[in-house]
Each structure stands twice: as C-alpha cells, then as structure tokens.
Structure 1
Amino acid sequence: MIIRLLTALDAEIHRILRLEALMNNPEAFAAAYEEEKEYPIDLFRDQLRSNDSFTLGAFTKDKLDGVITLVKEKPLKLKHRANIVAMYVSPEGRGLGIGKSLLEKTIEEAKGIEGLEQIYLTVVTTNEPAKRLYSSLGFEMFATEERALKFNDIYFDEEHRVLFLKNNE
C-alpha cells in the first residue's frame, strides 16, 4: 500500500471513489450522490489544489482504495482547528489497515501544520468499526447529535469527536 497526497492530476480517480462512497454508504456522508454526480470535474481539481485542505489517497496495486481529507478552519478564532471529512475505504480495501494508515498519516501531517492544535470528525453512531478505529487513535467523543442526517426518511445520529494534538500550555 502506498499513501500519498492527491493532486489535481488525480481528480478523475478521486471523483470515481467519492461517488462510490456516496452510493455504498449514503448514511455516512452529509453529501448525496444525486448532488455530487452532477459536479464538474474542475470542482474536484480545485478541491485538490486548495491551500486550506489536503487529501491523502491509499493505493493498492495502483488502484485508489481509500481517501481522507483534512480541512483547516479559516476564521481567526478557529485557526487552531481542522476537520477530517470524506474518509472512505472501498469494500475491497477494508480490513487491510488502510483506514488506520490514512488516519495515522493525516495526524502526522497535521502535527506539522503551524498553529494546529486539534482535529475534529463526526461518525454515524451505528458505524462501530469506524468508532473503534477513531478511539484507538485517541479521538474522544464529546457530543452526540441526534437525527443529524436524514436519508430515505431514516434519521442517523452522529458522534462528534476530537483529537488534541498537544496539551494546553
């Protein structure tokens, strides 16, 4: 497995995996396949060029099997924070340690961002494997949002979690 930063040249394969994620696990994402399938490829290129975020991809046998994006907060009073969004591992890649490797590399990269002190993420409360993974890497739950997402008239609760990169000094 190779983990590397995705660039604008990876926009096509990133888009394919993103749409797969939204089709396979619609309950896990605020975005909807029906919306994102219409997005132009240039939007994906622009996202991969952003100075306020980065996306890592995990490749097995030259196939993109997992992604994770870290988005830095922009407002002055929130610049010490970032959010993990759009994490996904393909069904073929699950159970191979891809998710853990992506998270570990993201945390490592985040520690190198000047002023960044904490990373947030949300996870659907029914996603036990993801919750175990996040807990194993130190993400602590601080709130549960009831009925956070609604898909096909079914509500999904989300846990909000945080990882503190350094102690208050």
Structure 2
Amino acid sequence: MDFTCGHHRGVVVLQVRVLKPKDAKEYWGLRLLTLNQHPDAFLLTLEEEQKRLYPIKRISALLKDPTRLTIGAFIDDRLIGTITLQKESYKKIKHKASVLSFFIEDAYRNKGIGRRLLTEVINVSRRLEIEQLLLAVVSTNTGAIALYESMGFTVFGLEKKALKVNGQYFDEQHMIYYL
C-alpha cells in the first residue's frame, strides 16, 4: 500500500504507506520526539517510554502484529507522522477498531498530513469491513478534536481526570466514527 501526493518539481512529496518492522527504529525516534513535544497527549511519559526494554524489538513485533496496522507519513523518506489501527479479534466486537498512536512532528502539523493519515485509516477500515472506529483524545487537544469532528467522529463520552501530568489533570473525550 503506497500512496504519493504532490509529484511536481519543487513540491514536497508526501508518501503514505504501511510501516514494516524495518521502520521500527525511525518510529521509535519519532515517538520520543512527539512525546517530548506533547507530554499530555500520551499515556506514557517520556521517561517511562525510554525505560522500556528493547524498544526497537518491541516496536518491530508490534509492526508484525496481524491485528494492528500502522501507517506512516514520509517526506523525503523521513517518517514525520503515524497512525495505528488496532482491530478487535473477539467475534462479538470484531466490527470495531481503535485509532491509536496518532502523532505528527510539530514542524509538519496543520498541513493536511493528519487528515491524510486519518482518511487512509478510514479507507482501510472500510476494506476490512470494520463498522466503528473508536479513539480517545485529551480534551485540551483542540486541533485534533477539530480534525476528528470534521471527519465525522462524534463524542460519546467524557472521562474526567483521565490523565495526570505533573500534578495537573486532563480529561479525555471518547469519540466514535460509524463507517
């Protein structure tokens, strides 16, 4: 699955493709960078993520997991954004999937890359006959919420004090998209 946008000279080429185990090291680097840039948007802290054993090996294994699909956005062959689709495997909830690990390097935000990645996840979900996409987003992340709402996601719940970062609480909105 390879997709390319903007194929003109002098124009930045955005490539969107499914990540493979060989992309694990670059994924890890981008995750640490974005975790540092937006500590309130992730479940784990930067320190917790850095303490995990064998991170490249662990990420490589996740990228091989048949219930997960991670799509990356590349500019000049450099990973600048990712989104993961986590499919459910139990029979009664197999029609659902979660959107996880959606992050874009700050320098590339507000350029349509998030929309492109989310559109790809929706398209892949349709091909996989997934009927519902679920996600959780920190309530202060207004840019992400605006993107999700513009794509058709709706809030179905609010978890008060879902995260606590340096003594400060953050609520999370739970959103759903019906395909």
When normalised by structure 2's length, the TM-score is: 0.89
Give me the CA root mean square deviation.
0.9
1:60, distance to aligned residue in structure 2 (A): 1.1
Letter in 1 for 2:57: D
Partner SS for 2:152 = coil
Partner SS for 1:74 = coil
1:70-104 deviations in whole A, cap 9, x for unaligned?
10112222111100011001011112111000000
Which residue in the other structure is 1:140 paired with? 154
Unaligned 5+ runs, structure 2? 1-13
Matched, 1:82 2:97: yes
Letter in 2 for 1:63: R
1:134, distance to aligned residue in structure 2 (A): 0.2
Matched, 1:10 2:10: no
1:126, distance to aligned residue in structure 2 (A): 0.9
In 2, distance between residues paired with 1:6 and 1:66? 11
1:21, distance to aligned residue in structure 2 (A): 1.7
* Match 1:36 to one of 21, 27, 49: 49
Letter in 1 for 2:134: Y
Letter in 1 for 2:167: D
Letter in 2 for 1:53: R
Unaligned 5+ runs, structure 1? none
Identity of aligned residues (%): 40
Which residue in the other structure is 1:98 paired with? 113
Consecutive aligned runs of 4 or more in structure 1 exceeding 4 Å deviation? none
Letter in 2 for 1:22: L
1:35, distance to aligned residue in structure 2 (A): 1.7
In 2, distance between residues paired with 1:18 and 1:76? 32
1:136, distance to aligned residue in structure 2 (A): 0.6
Are the aligned partners of 2:34 and 2:106 in contact in 1 as well (CA < 8 Å)?
Answer: no
Count of aligned pairs between the two proteins: 164
Letter in 2 for 1:125: S
* Match 1:72 to one of 75, 82, 87: 87
1:103-142 to structure 2, matched below 5 A, reads 103-114=118-129, 116-142=130-156
